[in-house]
């Protein structure tokens, strides 16, 4: 079954949690889809987690499209969301061109950061499923920090979500906000909320795949290491290097042989006894 926006909204109405993970390549997309993840997200976090950029602001539209196309090939059932990179939605025309490019390359919907009601409304009026993203916004905030900790800032953030909903946003990601604020916002809006570092009471959760697999070397309070994959990879690389240096790999079980008569002919040709 293909997971649509209506499916995601129905999960909110039913009180069932929505699952979401970032993804940047075909084999990971296949596994996430097979695992039943609801939303697979080709996000601009590809920059810092896959491409070696210092910040998400370095990610280009070409970067996103390259990875989106790979992810699309591995997704059959999940809703596929794509990020609109930094400075690709500064006005209505640019935003529409960006969104249409992402849709043509396989996205089911697009996400933008910040309070841009006019842009959201323009995309919505063109029939595009557009997601908001409020709280900590990597494209605009230089340092990761919890947002909405005071009464005034929390009220502004909550009203901003309502504004995006009114403009036509179909869902919203809430990043690095207090759990209490995440709960209030989720109860105040009809669109599903997806949290990352936003507590237990949002309609769903998203994590960066490198964080939850344990590839990211640092400990993150909002995440959980489900796989310790980084440790496994490091150990495997070290074992491989050691065996190659010692001549233990490849061994007889890893090689192929010529037929005796073909080998004899080749050896005669080169004068090998």
Residues serving a catalytic function are 175
Cα–Cα distances in angstroms (integers) from residue 123 to residues 18, 119, 120, in the given order: 24, 6, 5
Q: What's the rounded Cα separation, in Å, for the pair 21 and 38? A: 9
Contact 82, 20 (CB under 8 A): no
Q: What's the rounded Cα separation, in Å, for the pair 84 and 221? A: 26
Q: What's the rounded Cα separation, in Å, for the pair 186 and 198? A: 11
| The two structure tokens encoding residue 59 | 């990610």
Q: What's the rounded Cα separation, in Å, for the pair 39 and 22? A: 9
User: Comparing C-alpha atoms, which of 72, 71, 75, 78 is closest to residue 1?
Assistant: 78
Q: Could you give the count of Cα atoms lying within 13 Å of 31 in the half-sphere of its Cβ?
A: 10
Cβ-in-10-Å burial (0-12, 13-18, 19+) of 109 comes to buried
User: Comparing C-alpha atoms, which of 20, 13, 12 is closest to residue 175?
Assistant: 20
């Amino acid at each position: 079954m293909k997971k649509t926006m209506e499916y995601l909204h129905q999960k909110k109405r039913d009180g069932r949690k929505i699952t979401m993970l970032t993804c940047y390549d075909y084999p990971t997309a296949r596994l996430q889809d097979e695992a039943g993840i609801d939303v697979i997200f080709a996000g601009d976090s590809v920059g810092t987690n896959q491409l070696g950029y210092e910040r998400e602001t370095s990610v280009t539209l070409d970067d996103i499209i390259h990875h989106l196309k790979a992810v699309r090939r591995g997704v059959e059932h999940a809703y596929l969301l794509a990020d609109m990179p930094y400075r690709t939605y500064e006005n209505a025309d640019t935003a529409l061109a960006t969104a249409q490019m992402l849709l043509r390359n396989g996205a089911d919907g697009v996400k933008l950061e910040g309070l841009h009601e006019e842009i959201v409304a323009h995309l919505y009026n063109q029939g595009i499923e557009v997601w908001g993203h409020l709280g900590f916004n990597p494209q605009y905030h230089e340092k990761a920090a919890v947002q909405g900790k005071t009464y005034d800032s929390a009220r502004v953030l909550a009203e901003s979500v309502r504004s995006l909903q009114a403009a036509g946003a179909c869902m919203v990601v809430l990043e690095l906000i207090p759990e209490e604020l995440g709960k209030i916002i989720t109860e105040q809006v009809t669109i599903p909320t997806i949290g990352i570092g936003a507590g237990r009471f949002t309609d769903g959760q998203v994590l960066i795949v490198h964080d939850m697999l344990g590839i990211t070397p640092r400990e993150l309070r909002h995440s959980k290491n489900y796989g310790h994959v980084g440790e496994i990879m490091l150990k495997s690389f070290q074992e491989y290097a050691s065996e190659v240096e010692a001549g233990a790999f490849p061994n007889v079980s890893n090689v192929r042989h010529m037929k005796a008569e073909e080998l004899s002919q080749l050896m005669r040709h080169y004068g090998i006894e």
